[in-house]
Amino acid sequence: DYTSRENDSTLLEVRSFGEGRVLLNGKEVTNWDGVLPRALFFYLIDRGMVTRNEIFETFWPNLSIREATNVFHVTKRKISEVLGLDLTAYWSGFYRISPDIELSYGVVSFTDMVQRSGVASGEDVVDLLEQADQLYSGEFLSGMTMPWVLNRRVELGQDYGEALAGLAKAKEDLGHLKEALGLYLRGAPHNRNRQDIITSIMNLYSELALHEDALVACDRL
């Protein structure tokens, strides 16, 4: 509720699943003054706290320290101009998100729900993983191809596959076999090395008297 906020902090909402969206106090940020400021913004948000050397190695590995420093400060200044505030604060050798910003980051919420589901049980597992499923609205920053984005995309895709497998198992334990089968099928492409998922798919096909489909799953494995 943007109209009843109790403090003067800035609310920054970042959604990195799919193409990526940013809302500043409820208003979407669309003009980034170039590709690089937007990419650096999402990197800083995703890392949370990062050293200057890590930034340089990620974005400008072939530039000298002096050149990389110049490009970095120009790009960081553009981010500040786009947002109308400083995104980061420098503290003890790290760039971190400014304490004046109240950050809501979908990736953090997704990861938190997946982790909490590991120690939950019954319907609580289902609730947490269904929320995680809703948050994962597409591959991580689907329009970007930088190496750090591709690595993060694979990592989060695997986490999503694990979440779907966990949700499928919870549904199966509750006797919702068709729902469980659908979730296993969605999760399988994200977990191509998980033989147990294919086994679960085959078993559910068998229980639902879909024997030919079970054989197809076996052939695919």
Between 174 and 66, residue with greater pLDDT: 66
Instruction: Express each pLDDT in 59-111 by its tens digit.
Output: 999 999 999 999 999 999 999 999 999 999 999 999 999 999 999 999 999 99
Q: State residue 19's pLDDT score.
A: 95
Residue type, 92: S
- Given a contact cutoff of 8 angstroms between Cβ atoms, the answer to whether 67 and 78 are in contact is no
Mean pLDDT on 163-189: 92
Question: If you average pLDDT over residues 120-128, what whole number do you get?
Answer: 89
* SS3 labels along 80-93: HHHHCCCCEEEECC
Q: How confident is the model at residue 7 (pLDDT cuts 50, 70, 90)?
A: low
Q: Quote the pLDDT of residue 194.
A: 81
What pLDDT band is residue 43 in, cutting at 50, 70 and 90?
A: very high
> pTM for the whole thing?
0.86
Q: Which of 54, 34, 31, 35 is nearest to 44 (CA)?
A: 54
The pLDDT of residue 1: 47
Relative to beta strand 101-105, strand 10-15 is parallel
In this structure, the chain runs to a length of 221
Is the model's pLDDT at 5 over the cut of 70? no
Give me the mean pLDDT over the 140-169 stretch.
94
| Average of per-residue pLDDT across 173-181 | 92
Q: What is the DSSP string of 120-163?
A: --THHHHHHHHHHHHH--SSBTTT---HHHHHHHHHHHHHHHHH
pLDDT (0 to 100) of residue 6: 56
The proportion of the chain whose per-residue pLDDT surpasses 70, expressed as a percent, equals 96
> Is the pLDDT at 2 greater than 60, yes or no?
no
> pLDDT averaged over the chain?
92
Neighbours of 2 (CB within 10 A): 9
